[in-house]
Structure 1
Amino acid sequence: MIRRFFVGLLFFLLISCGKNEKPIVAFYYWKTIFKLSPAEKEVLRDNKVSKLYIRYFDIGLHPETQDPIPMSPIRFQENAANFDIVPVVFIQNKVMSLPRLNIDDLAQKTIRLVEEMNAKNKIAVQEIQIDCDWTLKSKDNYLRFIEQFKKLSKKKLSATIRLHQVKYFKKTKIPNVDSGVLMYYNMGTIANDSLNSIYGKKVAERYLKSLKKYPLHLDFALPIYSWAIHIREQKVIGLRSKLNVNELKKDANFEKIGTIFFKVKKSNYKNGVFYEENDLLKIEAISSEDLIEMGNDLDKNLVHAPREIIFYDLDEFNIKNYEKNIFKQVISCF
């Protein structure tokens, strides 16, 4: 009787531990050269990060022939063999929208280039990820591409998923992949208003309840980047990366005129971009409180816990804006 009690107790504890197992921390790496800075290496060590999702190349359209071509392939200046690498291929939606797209040819060429890059850099991979914000127009081509890619690659295949593809999955369909990564950002419209297009709780709430009905296993990608929306005469003229409030405060050419707005005091060049006098910059960023809120809101609406939380993206400019233990804090929400 006592033996049965202890066997039952052990079984209960094992189940409890399984339920409470936290997701791992992973990062996207979205530069064209792979070389980790000391600060980036430190954050990987501190968070025991073993998995990196590295953008290998984009697929866009040739400006003249309108044929699919690889763009901006990454170059490895540092050995990545110490990490579990997942190559990510970003495919522009206009590629998948081509009316006579040669799916088989595109899948074969994409796999071949990934394999060549792996061989050249002595990287062994178990998984490949396809990143594409497909639409109803491009859906059929995209789903066929995924089927062919999975058959030819013989690797675990994951795909990025957007919020609208979760809520309306009966229309947008679900790609035949082993798992998905929900991109929990870029929720709003890039505009000259006071709203944050990267993340907004009210926007997110329109989609969160749909997570319980989505049949594909999802991990989550959370944003740690910031950018500035460049506004001239009340019109958005571009997005400027690697800018935040602290960066602009240090520059005498810019004057803070609100919580997130800066005005150009004097025409100047900054980071290779020309700013006219009286232009506006609207800073959009994600706070530590935002990240904790995201984690808690996602956890409340899940059927199955994520295996990974992937932060976008690993860059010294991004990580220096957060306290050292923020990534562990977010993981503890699940």
Structure 2
Amino acid sequence: MKRFQLLIIFLTIISCSEKQRHPYTYYYWKTNLAFNETEKKALNQSTAPYLYTRFFDVDKLNGKFEPVAVITQDKSFQTDKKIVPAVFITNRTFLNIKKEEIKFLAQSIHQLIKKKIADYTLKIDNEIQIDCDWTAGTKDDYFLFLKELKKISGKQITCTLRLHQVKDKNLMGIPPVEKVYLMCYSTSSPLENSDINSILDVNILKNYLFKLEEYPLKKIEVALPIYSWGIVTNHLGKHKLINALSKKNLTNPNFNKISESEIEVAKDGFYFGSFLNKGFKIKVEEISDEQIEEVIEFLDKKLNAYIIIYYQLDSKFVYGRNFQKI
């Protein structure tokens, strides 16, 4: 009997220590749909049957709704994954919007999605994802838009969920959808003077999601960052971003090394497509596998089974990573 009890305890320990494996895939957020060999390989190795693909953005310009950066397609964009159309809508689109305009906006977005599907004969899943950083002031109109889009399209409408919308759920409201995508990045602004990683600071994320298990919607998928950038600071302390920089890009005889992730420009010149003066500083922010693992371990205590969507599918970000081991 004693041996049997010890065996049960041992098996329980082993079971609890086993890491939960999550199906994973990617966001594709480029205007031109095109794959190189690295991206094809990464997508083929992913274990979820979807690719979340940005179709266009929507903004309000001079009082009118406008599609921005609508996708084009290259012949290299071929995949067996089902495409989930994603549309980013600026929050200001819903400021002072009229009820009749909400229906017009939903109809227009649905029609443009249908056109792009037909133009490129894309294999589509029965879902449309809307990405909007709504606020307390726009939530009612945004939520009405989501309902209208569902009615017009007949599709499953899902939406993204930002960290502050979880923490302040009573103020921000709960979107009228069955499933949301929790965006576990952008934990602070990269344009503020700070020593923390603005893409993902795990302690800040844990603070925002401390009561995630109490969120009323129980179907939550998770978006995790794999992107990187460089934050350039000029002599006046003003910042700008250079996308897709990594620490390996900081090796240059015209740079003075400050730390593993920060340099000071020692000679005026063009670097990474921008003219930078002597004395400008560049700080690289990127995401390690260890940070991703820590976030997953935290979320596993808060959520049931979920899919991971990495942002984003780009050879600069997927090369050398093995997500099946994370």
Whether TM exceeds 0.5 here: the answer is yes
Contact conserved, 1:58 with 1:73, CA < 8 A, in 2?
A: yes
Shift of 1:197: 0.7
Amino acid at match of 1:272: G
What is the match of residue 132 of structure 1?
132
**Aligned amino acid, residue 25 of structure 2:** A
Paired position in structure 2 for 1:45: 44
Question: Could you list the per-position Cα deviations for residues 225-262 of structure 1 after superposition, in whole angstroms to 9, with x for gaps in the alignment?
Answer: 0011111125233111021110121x333222113211
Letter in 1 for 2:160: T
Aligned-partner Cα distance in 1 for 2:49–2:209: 29
With structure 1 as the length reference, what TM-score do the two structures score? Answer: 0.86
Q: Which residue of 1 aligns with 2:181?
A: 181
Q: Which residue of 1 aligns with 2:194?
A: 193
Residue 212 (structure 1) aligns with: 213
Aligned to 1:328: 324
* Alignment check: 8 A CA contact 1:55 1:87 kept: yes
Q: Give the aligned residue type for 2:141.
A: N
| 2:93 paired with 1:95 | yes
- Over 3 Å counting, the alpha-carbon distance change for 1:193 and 1:259 in structure 2 is farther
Aligned position for 1:67: 64
Give the TM-score normalised by the residue count of structure 2: 0.88
C-alpha RMSD of matched pairs (Å): 1.9
The farther-off stretch of 46-55 and 110-119 is: 46-55
**DSSP 3-state at the match of 2:270:** strand
- Larger mean CA deviation between 75-84 and 32-41 belongs to 75-84
Following superposition of structure 1 onto structure 2, how do residues 115-264 of structure 1 map, counting pairs within 5 Å? 115-125=114-124, 126-190=126-190, 191-216=192-217, 217-233=219-235, 235-249=237-251, 251-264=252-265
| Equivalent residues of 1:192, 1:236 under 8 A apart | no
Distance, in Å, in 2 between the alignment partners of 1:135 and 1:154 is 26
Asked if structure 1 preserves the Cα contact closer than 8 Å seen for 2:39 and 2:315, the reply is yes
- 8 A Cα contact 2:36 2:315, kept in partner: yes
Mapping of residues 274-313 of structure 1, within 5 Å: 274-302=275-303, 304-306=304-306, 308-313=307-312
Aligned to 1:105: 104
Checking the alignment, whether the CA contact within 8 Å between 1:266 and 1:277 is kept in structure 2 is yes
Match of 2:12 in 1: none
Partner Cα separation in structure 2 for residue 254 and residue 105 of structure 1: 53
Q: How does 1:80-91 map to 2 (within 5 A)?
A: 80=78, 82-91=80-89
How many residues align? The count is 304
8 A Cα contact 2:25 2:47, kept in partner: no
**Taking every aligned residue pair, what percent have the same amino acid on both sides?**
35
Structure 1 ranges of 4+ moved more than 4 A = none
Task: Please name the residue that 2:73 is paired with.
Answer: 76
CA shift for structure 1 position 49:
4.8
CA contact (8 A) 1:81 1:122 kept: no
Cα shift at 1:22? 4.2
Aligned to 1:11: none
